[in-house]
Amino acid sequence: MDNIETEKIHWAQVVSDRWNLSGQYKILNSEFDFNFELIQSNGSKFIVKIMRLDCEKSFLDAQVSILEFLKKDESALPIPKIIKSVSGNSYELAADLNNDERIIWVLEKIEGIMLSNVSPISKNLMLDLGKKVASLDLASKKFTADIDPPSNKWDLTKPLWIRDNIPEILDPELELIINEILDDFLNISDRLNHLPHYWIHNDLNDQNLLVGFLSNGQAFLSGILDFGDLSKSPTICNVAICSAYLLILPGIGLNLQLEFLRGYHSINPISEEELDILFTLIITRLAVSYVNSSIMAKDKPDDPYVIISQRDSKNFLWHMVKGKNFFTARFRNICDLPPVKGGSEVIEYLNQGKVGFHPIIRQPLKDAKIISLDLESIIPIDPHSITQSEAINLTGRSELESQRSINLGKYLEPRLIYTAKDFRLGAGKNSDRRTIHLGIDVFAPLGTEIFTPLEGEVIHSEFCDKPLDYGGFVVIEHRTPNGISFFSLFGHLDPKSLRFKVGERLGKGDLIGKIGSESVNGGWEPHLHLQLALGLGQENNWPGVCNPDDIKFWSQYCPNPATLLGINPGAITFRKIDKNHLIQNRIKSFSGNLKLSYKDPILIMRGFKNYLFDESGRCYLDFYNNVPHVGHSHPRIADLVNKQLRLINSNTRYLHPSQKKLSEKLLSKFPSSFEVVFFVNSGSEANELALRLAKTYTGNKDFVTFDHGYHGNTNAAIEVSPYKFKKPNGIGKQDWVHVIDCPNEFRDVDPRYQITKILNDIQAQGRSLGGFISETFPSVAGQIIPQPGILQHIYDEVKVAGGVCIADEVQTGLGRLGGYYFGFEQQKILPDIVVLGKPIGNGHPIGAVVTTQEIAKAFNNGIEFFSTFGGSDLSCLIANEVLEIVDDEMLGENAKQMGSFLEKGLVALKLGSSLIGDVRGMGLFWGVEIIRNFETKEPGTSEANYICNRLRDKRILVGLEGPYENILKIRPPLSLIHDDVKIFLSAFADVLKESYLRDGT
Ligand SMILES: Cc1ncc(COP(=O)(O)O)c(C=O)c1O
């Protein structure tokens, strides 16, 4: 038996004697102590801690004292509960195997995984962390017991010990940075010492924070561990320590750390005094931590890991130190203060109307036209790539007009015109991108002179010559009468016209420079970009456009410059569409069963090919919508609509060449037995009509259909849609409807035997068959491709029994399947009636029924068939154009190629994942079945829901389908490209590795 085993047996006996607890013991990793997990037969779990030999009792007394106090005061705090021994003690002394005395204590185990191992770290989790740390601090403030834990090197009020150890660092540049940090600390130490001191946790690092998951995958902070570094310090030190570790943890960064701060501030408000010193405390903690690890690494000078981490730490600390003011501005903003001290005074000063600004340009601006460059302005046509001609004609004015009139562009407007790489924060088209305009544009003639509205000093002057950049750019620092500085930014000037150098002073009304031409202004239509800023740019960077996620900060850091121009700030500010108003309207004026997708619904303002753009210009990859068959907003269709609506849009009671055009084009795609078309408004109406045709033709009503099928929302369509009528509160099955299982290769379902029985039953009851209706590839049932021969068998039997076969090709038709134009071709069957919908109008409402002369003749029984909008001139032209585009752009071929690339990737993911049970599909019609167990094939409903929502977070849209909603439905527009498939596959692979799917379910 090895030593550890003997130890385990020994301590198990001690715990059994002293605590009366027994069960399975598992050894846990620990640097100095012996830690075990004890699992009782009833499932209760405990942590048994045997302290290191030299552990002082005062160390334990202090922890026990505060833990017991906090648990009593605030039982909801996620901190460990101490289990008393049989004698009522919080810890016991017991001899180890060498007969040395050890302290031993037992804690209730908190379930969760370490924050450092969690992926992704979400905003919600950070918010929760902030709130819980704040609650801990609030409770700690009430803890006044006289404890005396041993002092420790992590006390953030006493970091100066690292000065003596700086030589350990071996890097002179880093030494300088650390000295700078300590000097900064000395500047704030008095203010720090004047803040009230409490016993605080003092080591809120990612190893001491545990994360749990709710059943929907939402992460929450489940545990705050290890009170061994308690220190009497101001609570802001806890905030700083936690922030420091968050900022260095991969995958977090400033935006998530800010969520932590927001959560904290909402429970335990952080004062301005505390915010003043927060940054210095964070950076000091990082410096202490860095020096400490350098001391520890001294023994391994050649360890490459240590060398790499020195270089990384240097860069990181350098960026942090340089960003002090900027970080502080962000901290202040998240805690509801103006981003810089005196910020409100600047705004008041500028808005009081007494300042008397010198006009920035000579021409009056009061009546200048305000233009829109927002998401409804259709500029640029390709939202990922503005063309040169679009960029030089943003206002859409003629040459003459632009000489005569001034146009103004809005503040805080979301725009898709910023398509250069520098505006992107990631590589994919769906990655974060800066879209929100932080200034006002003044579109004035080339060469227009620009004057400074107030006196000031040039602090930055540069020629930013990259495409779509600022061109000639100047920043001037001004001061309020009380000496508070603020900045005005002038972009798109002619660099040769810039009159002043950095450091030079300008008087009010001095000429700064002139509006530049497209060759020197970044390639734009001549205009001035005017912006205000309350603080300095981040490391010499002065963004004129921000990421929509950061708008709260940037709109305060760069307030509306309208007053400098003497124009009305309200009129020049973009009025954002309020998503919540739209949601409220849904609730108030629409029926509750009109569902929205996703926990956080999406407001979509633009589409282009396979991309969707929300109200702020965030791009989503559309892997879900099959209606925009040839891609969203296809220009050929848009142009056609524009033209036709100016000509005529009438109905089928009159002749129009469009009817001939579409019918011929459509029939050319069918086998020769199909000769007649009917045009209607939707897939539902088409199925409704198809059922009428079949019933009239056969004179019979009884219909057979697949389980879980869906054919539309009209009465008859619902009656043949088990997906709807079987739901709780559904209308139930009508006696003329007969349901057979939906084929399913993955679950071994073959309904062939059922059709024979049902047809016999119908006959035995003296009834006759109307027909069989199904989707050729059942989609709602879970993106199913029926096993070869099943549909053939059913069709044969139905036809022998005198029934008509209706193929609902709403989801599968028109080239989606790659090698096949329709699903029935792949299944080698010949339907009597085919129903088309959704994709045929690319978003315009049109459906079609295609059938044989024989069936159409029987239907022509003297009663007129008329659908007012079905077959309108415009609808016919649009549908014809869709079919033409599928041919011209070889979209069927593209579906085949992209489909096979997608398939390879999905199959590879399946091999590496225990969650993917099945990957099935063809062309661009795919289903990925998520399961919990390969043996039982238990559906992974919550897992699939989690994946779908996480992909949405990553801005990729897929759907959920199947009786258990556990099948990811992938059905993009056929214009899909290779790059986007790659992004999707990699995002999907990342989601599959996330903690909730690995450890949380
Ligand atoms: C297979 C199938 N048939 C018919 C319909 C009904 O089409 P619509 O909603 O256009 O009426 C749908 C809609 O989802 C469908 O998926």
Tokens 């524009």 correspond to: 642
539 or 460, greater pLDDT? 460
Q: In degrees rounded to 5, what are phi and psi of residue 850?
A: -125, 130
Do the beta carbons of residue 402 and residue 517 sit within 8 Å? Answer: no
Using CB distances shorter than 6 Å, the residues near ligand 1 are 682-684, 687, 710-713, 775, 779, 808, 810-811, 837-838
Rg of the chain on CA atoms, in Å: 35
Q: Average pLDDT of 642-664?
A: 98
Rounded distance, CA 509 to CA 586, Å?
52
Give me the pLDDT at residue 29, please: 81
Bridge partners, 35 (sequence order): 28, 49
Shortest-distance Cα residue to atom 14 of ligand 1: 712
Q: Which residues contact 279 (CB under 8 A, 6 or more apart)?
A: 324, 327, 328, 331
Q: Average pLDDT of 637-641?
A: 98
CA of 717 to the centre of ligand 1 (A): 9
Give me the pLDDT at residue 598, please: 87
Asked if the model's pLDDT at residue 174 lies above 70, the reply is yes
pLDDT tens readout for residues 214-229: 999 999 999 999 999 9
Give me the pLDDT at residue 306, please: 52
CA-to-CA dists, residue 947 to 74, 123, 930, angstroms: 36, 17, 9
* Nearest-5° Cα angle at 885, 883 to 887: 75
Question: What is the reported pTM?
Answer: 0.95
pLDDT tens readout for residues 828-844: 999 999 999 999 999 99
Do the beta carbons of residue 572 and residue 410 sit within 8 Å? Answer: yes
Shortest-distance Cα residue to atom 15 of ligand 1: 711
Least confident of 18-27, 250-259, 601-610: 250-259
Give me the pLDDT at residue 986, please: 98
The percent of residues above 70 in pLDDT, for the chain, comes to: 98
> Cis peptide before 380, with omega less than 30 degrees from 0?
yes
pLDDT tens readout for residues 778-837: 999 999 999 999 999 999 999 999 999 999 999 999 999 999 999 999 999 999 999 999
One-letter amino acid at 127 equals L
Do the beta carbons of residue 799 and residue 805 sit within 8 Å? Answer: yes
Atom of ligand 1 nearest to the CA of 685: 11
Three-state DSSP state, 552: helix
Asked if the model's pLDDT at residue 456 lies above 70, the reply is yes
Rounded distance, CA 346 to CA 482, Å?
10
Atom of ligand 1 nearest to the CA of 845: 10
Atom of ligand 1 nearest to the CA of 684: 11
pLDDT tens readout for residues 738-768: 999 999 999 999 999 999 999 999 999 999 9
Pocket test for ligand 1, best of 710, 721, 824 (most atoms within 8 A of CB): 710
Asked if the model's pLDDT at residue 294 lies above 80, the reply is yes
Pocket test for ligand 1, best of 718, 774, 806, 838 (most atoms within 8 A of CB): 838
Rounded distance, CA 7 to CA 613, Å?
62
Shortest-distance Cα residue to atom 3 of ligand 1: 711
CA of 255 to the centre of ligand 1 (A): 42
Asked if the model's pLDDT at residue 302 lies above 70, the reply is no
Rounded distance, CA 709 to CA 725, Å?
10
CA of 243 to the centre of ligand 1 (A): 51
Q: What is the dihedral of CA 630, 634, 636, 637, to 10 degrees?
A: 90
Average per-residue pLDDT for the chain: 95
Residue 232: pLDDT band with limits 50, 70, 90: very high
Give me the pLDDT at residue 464, please: 97
Tokens 């939402």 correspond to: 218
pLDDT tens readout for residues 306-343: 544 566 677 888 888 889 999 999 999 999 999 999 99
Give me the pLDDT at residue 309, please: 59
Rounded distance, CA 474 to CA 542, Å?
10
Residue 303: pLDDT band with limits 50, 70, 90: low
pLDDT tens readout for residues 848-886: 999 999 999 999 999 999 999 999 999 999 999 999 999
CA of 941 to the centre of ligand 1 (A): 24
Tokens 């903003």 correspond to: 333
Asked if the model's pLDDT at residue 304 lies above 80, the reply is no
CA of 847 to the centre of ligand 1 (A): 10
First to last CA, the chain: 36
Rounded distance, CA 684 to CA 692, Å?
12
For 148-171, the DSSP string reads -PPP-TT-TT--THHHHHGGGG--
pLDDT tens readout for residues 658-670: 999 999 999 999 9
Nearest to 435 by CA among 473, 384, 370, 491: 384
pLDDT tens readout for residues 709-740: 999 999 999 999 999 999 999 999 999 999 99
Bridge partners, 703 (sequence order): 737, 771
Asked if the model's pLDDT at residue 297 lies above 60, the reply is yes
331 CA to centre of own chain: 23
CA of 835 to the centre of ligand 1 (A): 10
With 0-12 / 13-18 / 19 or more C-beta atoms within 10 angstroms meaning exposed / middle / buried, residue 657 is exposed
CA of 708 to the centre of ligand 1 (A): 13
Q: Average pLDDT of 557-569?
A: 96
Atom of ligand 1 nearest to the CA of 714: 11
DSSP type of residue 455: -
CA of 349 to the centre of ligand 1 (A): 60
Shortest-distance Cα residue to atom 7 of ligand 1: 683
Burial 214-253 (b: 16+ CB within 10 A, else e): eeebbbbbbbbbbbbbbbebbbbbbbbbbbbbbbbbeebe
Rounded distance, CA 515 to CA 443, Å?
9
CA of 734 to the centre of ligand 1 (A): 20
Atom of ligand 1 nearest to the CA of 837: 10
Pocket test for ligand 1, best of 594, 626, 705, 711 (most atoms within 8 A of CB): 711
CA of 593 to the centre of ligand 1 (A): 17
